[in-house]
């Protein structure tokens, strides 16, 4: 028994010695979960606190009303906890065109626009009961925004519109009640109780409550050119994120392959031939690049065939996919250049795959993240890739619209490749 325990202790001591030799890999084992906890805790904080006093939802407000009711409604909305109304930018009032551009550029998630005839239309509907021909209040949102965040904001605004209609209708209803009362005054005589009963009956409180129909006044919209005819499905929001997450896991496979080539001495034998190092690395990366493209095609095909996902402009989708795959392969080469052992490479690959996905909005939407987290997300290729896919699939845009995201993704690929080429050792 003592001999058996001694053997176990000897094996454990050997493994501990190996771990101590590769201190970078050991450090990654502790750093990765700690960093992941920090990132996800900050990011998820926005999910549970969005719409609270500490983390209000920012809404641009445009008041084009030529009356006073819109200003009164805005005053009501200012008092609602969880909403922060942005009425001026740079000291000037916001126009509808400016608000539309800010929503389009994803600077603000939504904009509330009171049209010019808001007061007149609200008064007319309250007093005459005439139906609104077209909405005079527009809630403009990015189609890629989460429905669960839009619904409570829309409900709050509709509730305030309904209250405004009731308030506007009361004077007219009282006037109509007195008119009916005056017709029967001679029949009732001086009995105060009868007068009171008749007045309440003439007021018709049920009819007053029936004037509430803010849904005809308020409409959801999207910036011009965006796919505003429908809200995105869960599949259209999830498939791009999962596709990006899966594509960047090529980093682990690619980097491990490079380490094996080093350990087996394959690189040194290949370099004996008149072959530039750059050509060797690109040739090594090319199969993995093709694998990434097949991954993307397969994942989007599942979304289209099984869940009726609308892919949008295929050419734009292809351009973004080519750039995403290039960025993923560049990151894989960078990890292979930084890692000295297979343990280090595995740790770095998982570290980048998980933390960059968390920062880039694959696990938590960036629009509910704190401000500094949103800034950090723009430093990841994942966020730009997701924005490009959302432009095509959800916002319904084409090739020209995704060129900025494509350029940034290719910039990430070039940066990763340049650093890797500088640091890479073939021994």
The answer to whether 277 touches 421, Cβ cutoff 8 Å, is yes
Question: What is the secondary structure of 65-76 as a DSSP string?
Answer: -SSSHHHHHHHH
> Helix, strand or coil for residue 280?
helix
Tokens for 189, please give them. Answer: 């005589």
CA–CA gap between residue 256 and residue 278 (Å, rounded) = 19
Cβ–Cβ under 8 Å, residues 262 and 427:
yes
Q: What is the pLDDT of residues 76-102, one digit of tens each?
A: 888 877 778 888 887 778 888 888 888
Residue 131 DSSP label: P
Two structure tokens written together for 53: 């006093």
CA 285 to chain centre: 32
How far are the Cα atoms of 173, 274, 286, 342, 425 from residue 320, in angstroms, in the given order? 59, 35, 18, 31, 31
Of the listed ranges 115-129, 180-194, 232-246, 256-270, the least confidently predicted one is 180-194
Whether residue 406 is predicted with pLDDT greater than 90 in this model: the reply is yes
- Structural domains in the chain, CATH included, are 57-221 (3.40.1710), 232-423 (no CATH)
DSSP state of 233: P
Structure tokens at 35: 């960093």
Lowest mean pLDDT of 30-34, 148-152, 287-291, name the range.
30-34
C-alpha–C-alpha distance, residues 158 and 150, integer Å: 12
- Structure confidence by residue, pLDDT tens digits, 185-243: 655 555 545 555 555 555 554 455 444 455 567 777 878 777 654 566 777 777 888 88
Q: How many CB atoms lie within 10 A of CB 332?
A: 30
What pTM does this model have? 0.72
């Amino acid at each position: 028994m003592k001999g058996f325990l001694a053997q176990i202790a000897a094996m454990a001591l050997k493994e501990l010695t190996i771990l101590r030799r590769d201190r970078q890999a050991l450090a990654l084992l502790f750093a990765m979960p700690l960093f992941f906890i920090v990132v996800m805790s900050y990011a998820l904080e926005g999910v549970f606190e969005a719409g609270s006093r500490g983390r209000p939802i920012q809404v641009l407000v445009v008041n084009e009303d030529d009356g006073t009711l819109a200003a009164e409604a805005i005053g009501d909305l200012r008092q609602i906890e969880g909403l922060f109304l942005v009425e001026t930018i740079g000291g000037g009032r916001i126009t509808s065109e400016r608000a539309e551009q800010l929503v389009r550029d994803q600077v603000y998630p939504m904009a509330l626009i009171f049209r010019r005839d808001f007061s007149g239309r609200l008064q007319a509907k309250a007093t005459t009961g005439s139906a609104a021909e077209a909405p005079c209040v527009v809630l403009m949102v990015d189609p890629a925004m989460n429905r669960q965040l839009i619904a409570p904001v829309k409900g709050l605004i509709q509730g305030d519109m309904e209250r405004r209609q009731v308030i506007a209708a009361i004077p007219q209803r009282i006037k109509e009640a007195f008119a009916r009362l005056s017709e029967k005054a001679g029949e009732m005589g001086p009995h105060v109780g009868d007068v009171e009963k008749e007045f309440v009956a003439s007021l018709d409180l049920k009819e007053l409550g029936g004037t509430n129909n803010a849904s005809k006044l308020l409409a959801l919209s999207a910036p011009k050119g965006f796919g505003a005819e429908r809200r995105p499905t869960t599949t259209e929001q999830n498939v791009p994120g999962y596709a990006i997450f899966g594509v960047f896991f090529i980093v682990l496979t690619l980097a491990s392959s490079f380490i094996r080539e080093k350990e087996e001495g394959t690189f040194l034998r290949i370099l004996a031939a008149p072959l530039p190092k750059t050509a060797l690395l690109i040739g090594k990366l090319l199969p993995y690049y093709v694998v990434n493209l097949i991954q993307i095609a397969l994942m989007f095909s599942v979304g289209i065939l099984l869940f009726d996902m609308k892919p949008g402009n295929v050419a734009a989708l292809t351009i973004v996919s080519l750039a995403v795959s290039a960025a993923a392969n560049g990151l894989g080469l960078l990890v292979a250049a930084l890692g000295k052992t297979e343990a280090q490479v595995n740790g770095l690959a998982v570290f980048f795959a998980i933390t960059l996905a968390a920062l880039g909005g694959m696990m938590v939407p960036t629009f509910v993240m704190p401000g500094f987290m949103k800034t950090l997300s723009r430093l990841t290729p994942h966020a730009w890739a997701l924005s490009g896919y959302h432009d095509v699939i959800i916002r319904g845009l084409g090739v020209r619209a995704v060129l900025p995201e494509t350029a940034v993704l290719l910039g990430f690929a070039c940066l990763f490749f340049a650093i890797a080429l500088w640091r890479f050792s073939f021994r």
